[in-house]
A and B are shown apart, each in its own frame.
Chain A
Amino acid sequence: MRRRDFLRSATGALAGAPLLAFPRLGRRRAPWLLVPMDDTQADHLKAYGVVFRLLERGGRAEWFLNYRNGAFLIPSDAVTARDTALAGVTSEPLDDGALLGIRAEIQMENMEAVPLEKAPKVAVYAPPNAAPWDDAVTMALRYAGIDFAKVWDSEVLAPAGTGLARYDWLHLHHEDFTGQYSKFYLTYAGAPWLAEMVERNTAMARALGFSSVPAEKRAVAEAIAAYVHQGGFLFAMCAATETLDLALAGAGVDIAAAYADQTPMDPNATAKMDWSRALAFQDARLELSPNVSQFSDIDGHEVNAMSRRQELGSFRSFNFSAKIDPVATMLVQNHRETIPDFYGLTTSFRKSRIKPGVTILADEPGAPWAKYLHGEHGQGTWTFYGGHDPEDPQHQIGDAPTDLSLHPHSPGYRLILNNVLFPAAKKKELKT
């Protein structure tokens, strides 16, 4: 059964009556806590952490899609109540009568109750060293208090069953899967962090038996695509979105500059790309200059191509039918529909380069680009979110990391955390 079909049937059964059986822990304590996600919530981001830790403890929760901007129903046991209080997350005691009223409302409106049953095992793809830029997802996970493991190339390319297969959810951020060091090689020549990055990647490629970093990164991209195909959940941001697809579509084509693999880029590379291998994009034109920190014309904003750089606007998430399409609905749960845009090495995705069948979750009204995409690949799903840091729209290399305690209501970060909980909405093991 496909994930979407499963969710549809599972959530349909839940619409009528509460299936979750939480123990009553005290005579006077209301059996439930409702965690509202509208403007009454004191800390939207930490609410996801409360739910995640509940699932980690073996507890269960429900996600009320479109009800008070994506509220959560959690049991009011002592541990959960304590965790909620410590996190400063707003919660409202709820008795069975009130819950019944909410369920009735959910049944009648464009809303849905999705059970959350198992905390996904989360992995973040990141090199062991600290890069001079930050990863919004890592920051969001740390702020919300969600545990994660760090994986890099050796783990991704480990034999079947020992690498990515151990994780349910994988995040990619700033990585350049074309193996060109984000095309900073010439612009930042001499910078110590770049020298370290080159050295570390070269050593890893050599240790894994590859002739060059681009060849090794392509193998990593293939392994990630295989992981998704086998049922994994992939969430990528910034340059990882675009370069993953370029690496997949560029199998057998030299798409890397000479500094990366000692051979010049194939001048006809654009014509030789096999887009059937890519997850999200098609028909893109590759950036030929090794000096421009840009990979192709997939990105609509082209932040590093000075003459073509587009100004930042705002993007708007779409409304989906919660009962028919709960997956897309989950991914756009938010207390704001319109969100200020933010740059990244890849900021947005030109609609003309997006494959048919890909779900556009958010775009900039009137602009020819989308911001937030979702699609299926084999048994798994992927979500691409353009940009680098939702609360630092013009993040520069070396800038201080964002302090999320100053942005506890960040709607841009909420979209990230929706993705973390999304794999929890399934009863059985994710990998098949």
Chain B
Amino acid sequence: MRRVLWLVLVLLGVARALAAQTELMARAYEQERRSDFNAAAQAYLEVLRQYPDNLSALLGLERALTPLHREADLAGPAEAFLARNPSDVAAYSVAMRGWAAANRPDSVAAVARRWARVEPGSEAPYREWGNTLIAQRDGSGARRAYLAGRERLGDPSAMAGELALLAAAQNNWEEAAREWGLAMDRYPGYRLTARNALARAPVADHERVLRQLSRGTPAARRLAAELGVQWEDPDAAYALLMASLPVAGNESLDALRQFLDAARGIEGPAAARVRGQVLEQIADRSNGAAASRMRLEAARSYAEGNDAASARRMLSALAADGSTPPDMAAGATATLVTVLLREGQVEEAERQLGGLRRNLGEENAARLTLQVADGWVRQGNLDRAEAVLAGDSTVEALAMTGVIRLYRGDLSGAATALRSAGPFAGSREEATQRTALLALIQPIETDSLPALGAALLSLAQGDSAAAVARLVTVADGLPAAGGGAELRLLAGRIETGLGRPDEAERLLRAAADSSAPATAPAAELELGRLLLSVGRGTEAIAQLEHLILTYPGSAAVPQARRVLDAARGGIPES
């Protein structure tokens, strides 16, 4: 009976102590919640004084001291806690942060070593040691901490991820590459992190990073390939990838897909060609519909990379494969039409399109029809172009019909068709071009002007020099306000684009005719830009000032002010 009574008394005592501790902690939490950090810190200290094993109080004390800039005051309580609870590892990092704030790096190191004795095989003490020093911006101290861990653990790849990140932060990209190579060897899952981290290396370090990785394991070499393709050396990157590809099927597929992932979004024909090559490799290692899909994608990439022969090779393989699903075959044909048009084989493109039109969706068929018509226009065969569009009642076709009429010199018919097409046909850029064409012909009073059509057709065919000569000839026969100034402005812009500033200046000055007030501001703005681009800043400023003061209501004035600001150094060069 006496023993039971004694037990009850002990339990009651424990319960009372726990309740008191809980109440003290609740008071501390409340002070912290109210952002009264001084009071909260005092309250947590009181808990620790009475209950020195309370880890929550120690962590609360750190939270309270941080906004007070008193992290250095943490070291004492944390050390007291550790003296009683040396195996409670959470308190070691608190002690480290306290000593670090007190600017006592030796004490930080001592805590880390004590922790390492408690957890002998763990990287955690060294990681926390280094991270604490990084938080203090002590990069070289952090490096020493990580290396101490590596030495102590006897593993040359230990702490590699930490050392890699630190080296990158210190702009030592070669070391970062070496450490990432080691880290990937230890943890293959680090590959993506390593790629993203090393992708931030400055251009000047690219070569060093690639050289370092190329000396490493096959995984490191493949990482070099993935970075190389992003750093604009796609062909060399592809060669490196193929040389380090794993033998096993699944692993090689994974490696190819990872490379493809890195190569996606890289602009330029070389990157597109390399994407085609990788897709072809993936297709060769795949079966059925997946293989067909890869070949189709490869063909598109080859076409984007101006490698028509490879694109056609892919498409032919698709056509020859009876297992290719019909929708994919149609997609292949669409790609083939695009490739043929790019090669100038309009007749063949039209034939291919005619053969598979029914298998294409309506939208795809309409888009390719326009491309074929455009192909005929570029070859100067306006009759065939109109014939392709015959019966097509879409607004896009109407817009192209307007353009073809313009090339024939039928200004009235062109204006009617272009206006009917309105602003919604095609892309925004195409709509803007149509508006510009309308603005060009609007002041011209005659309904038919074949010479102007021929000039614009030359421009569409890429013969800019002939286009300028023809535009000037037409302009000479028109009054300034009746289209002459507008045509000279266009000719001046073309000359600017051709890099012939003297000819451009002559034409733009002629276009800046005050008797053509609708054209003159745009011509003066163009002239101001031209003068600025050839280093004649003072003249450019005078020209732009003239524009702003003479045509204050013109839509060109805001742009003129911006160019003027740039000319005067008022805004940064863009």
Specify whether A and B are partners: yes
- Which of chain A's residues have a CB closer than 8 A to the CB of B565? 143, 405
For A185, the closest partner residue in chain B by CB is B137
Size of interface on A: residues with Cβ below 8 Å to B: 31
- Which of chain B's residues have a CB closer than 8 A to the CB of A404? 570-571
Q: Does A142 contact B (CB under 8 A)?
A: yes
Contact mask A68-91 → B, CB, 8 Å, 1/0?
000000000000001001111000
Q: Once the chains are docked, how many angstroms separate the CA of A401 from the CA of B66?
A: 34
Q: A145-B568, A400-B572 are in contact. Are A88 and B561 (CB under 8 A)?
A: yes
Q: Assess the B570–A186 pair: CB atoms within 8 A.
A: no
Q: Does B139 contact A (CB under 8 A)?
A: yes
Q: Assess the B69–A292 pair: CB atoms within 8 A.
A: no
Q: Once the chains are docked, how many angstroms separate the CA of A85 from the CA of B574?
A: 24
Q: Does B171 contact A (CB under 8 A)?
A: yes
Q: Does B118 contact A (CB under 8 A)?
A: no
- Contact count A vs B, C-beta below 8 Å: 68
Give the interface centre of A139, A186, A191, A285 by most chain B CB atoms within 10 Å. A186
Interface locus among B358-366, B382-390, B544-552: B544-552
Q: Once the chains are docked, how many angstroms separate the CA of A291 from the CA of B570?
A: 37
Q: Does A5 contact B (CB under 8 A)?
A: no
| Chain A interface SS verdict (over half) | loop
Contact mask A302-339 → B, CB, 8 Å, 1/0?
00001110000000000000000000000000000000
Q: Once the chains are docked, how many angstroms separate the CA of A213 from the CA of B409?
A: 76
Which chain B residues have a beta carbon within 8 Å of chain A's beta carbons?
Answer: 66-67, 69, 71, 101, 103, 135-139, 170-172, 545, 548-549, 552, 557-558, 561-562, 564-565, 568-572, 574
Q: A86-B545, A142-B570, A187-B137 are in contact. Are A308 and B66 (CB under 8 A)?
A: yes
- Which of chain A's residues have a CB closer than 8 A to the CB of B572? 139, 400-403
Contact mask A292-308 → B, CB, 8 Å, 1/0?
11000100000000111
Sample 23 A-B pairs with CB under 8 A, ordered by A number. Answer: A85-B548, A85-B552, A86-B561, A86-B564, A87-B561, A88-B548, A88-B557, A88-B561, A139-B572, A142-B570, A142-B571, A143-B571, A144-B570, A187-B137, A190-B172, A289-B137, A293-B137, A297-B69, A307-B66, A307-B71, A401-B572, A403-B572, A404-B570
- Which of chain B's residues have a CB closer than 8 A to the CB of A21? none
Q: Assess the A186–B67 pair: CB atoms within 8 A.
A: no
Q: Assess the A291–B138 pair: CB atoms within 8 A.
A: yes
- Which of chain A's residues have a CB closer than 8 A to the CB of B552? 85
Q: Once the chains are docked, how many angstroms separate the CA of A168 from the CA of B163?
A: 53
For A88, the closest partner residue in chain B by CB is B561
Give the distance to chain B from A39, nearest Cβ to Cβ, in Å. 18
- Top-10 shortest CB links A-B: A291-B137, A401-B572, A143-B570, A291-B136, A405-B571, A403-B571, A88-B561, A142-B570, A291-B138, A190-B171
Q: Does A189 contact B (CB under 8 A)?
A: yes
Q: Assess the B139–A189 pair: CB atoms within 8 A.
A: yes
Q: Once the chains are docked, how many angstroms separate the CA of A291 from the CA of B142?
A: 12
Q: A82-B549, A85-B548, A88-B561 are in contact. Are A142 and B569 (CB under 8 A)?
A: yes
Q: Assess the B170–A190 pair: CB atoms within 8 A.
A: yes
- Which of chain A's residues have a CB closer than 8 A to the CB of B568? 145
- Which of chain B's residues have a CB closer than 8 A to the CB of A403? 571-572, 574
Q: Which residues of chain A from 130 to 177 have any CB-CB distance to chain B below 8 Å in the complex?
A: 139, 142-145
Q: Does A30 contact B (CB under 8 A)?
A: no
For B103, the closest partner residue in chain A by CB is A288
For A288, the closest partner residue in chain B by CB is B103
Known A143-B570, A190-B170; further 6 A-B contacts with Cβ < 8 A: A88-B548, A145-B568, A291-B136, A307-B66, A308-B67, A401-B572
Q: Assess the A189–B103 pair: CB atoms within 8 A.
A: no
- Which of chain A's residues have a CB closer than 8 A to the CB of B548? 85-86, 88
For B568, the closest partner residue in chain A by CB is A145
Give the distance to chain A from B74, nearest Cβ to Cβ, in Å. 12
Q: Assess the B136–A292 pair: CB atoms within 8 A.
A: yes
Q: Assess the B139–A186 pair: CB atoms within 8 A.
A: yes
For B171, the closest partner residue in chain A by CB is A190
Q: Assess the A86–B549 pair: CB atoms within 8 A.
A: yes
- Which of chain B's residues have a CB closer than 8 A to the CB of A308? 66-67, 69
Q: Which residues of chain A from 7 to 56 have any CB-CB distance to chain B below 8 Å in the complex?
A: none
- Which of chain B's residues have a CB closer than 8 A to the CB of A402? 572
Give the distance to chain A from B568, nearest Cβ to Cβ, in Å. 7
- Which of chain B's residues have a CB closer than 8 A to the CB of A186? 137-139
Q: Once the chains are docked, how many angstroms separate the CA of A191 from the CA of B170?
A: 9
- Which of chain B's residues have a CB closer than 8 A to the CB of A401? 572
- Which of chain B's residues have a CB closer than 8 A to the CB of A189? 139, 170
Q: Once the chains are docked, how many angstroms separate the CA of A402 from the CA of B572?
A: 7
Give the interface centre of A88, A187, A404 by most chain B CB atoms within 10 Å. A88
- Which of chain B's residues have a CB closer than 8 A to the CB of A307? 66, 71, 135
Q: Which residues of chain A from 208 to 246 have any CB-CB distance to chain B below 8 Å in the complex?
A: none
Q: Once the chains are docked, how many angstroms separate the CA of A190 from the CA of B565?
A: 36
- Which of chain A's residues have a CB closer than 8 A to the CB of B569? 142
Give the distance to chain B from A211, nearest Cβ to Cβ, in Å. 25
Give the distance to chain A from B109, nearest Cβ to Cβ, in Å. 16
Q: Once the chains are docked, how many angstroms separate the CA of A235 from the CA of B548?
A: 34
Give the distance to chain A from B185, nearest Cβ to Cβ, in Å. 27
Q: Which residues of chain A from 380 to 432 have any CB-CB distance to chain B below 8 Å in the complex?
A: 400-405
For B569, the closest partner residue in chain A by CB is A142
Q: A142-B570, A405-B571 are in contact. Are A289 and B136 (CB under 8 A)?
A: yes
- Which of chain B's residues have a CB closer than 8 A to the CB of A87? 561
- Which of chain A's residues have a CB closer than 8 A to the CB of B571? 142-143, 403-405
- Which of chain A's residues have a CB closer than 8 A to the CB of B67? 308
- Which of chain B's residues have a CB closer than 8 A to the CB of A285? 69
Q: Assess the A292–B561 pair: CB atoms within 8 A.
A: no
Q: Assess the A191–B171 pair: CB atoms within 8 A.
A: yes
Q: Once the chains are docked, how many angstroms separate the CA of A288 from the CA of B105?
A: 13
Q: Once the chains are docked, how many angstroms separate the CA of A139 from the CA of B565?
A: 12
Give the distance to chain B from A293, nearest Cβ to Cβ, in Å. 7
For B68, the closest partner residue in chain A by CB is A308
For A184, the closest partner residue in chain B by CB is B137
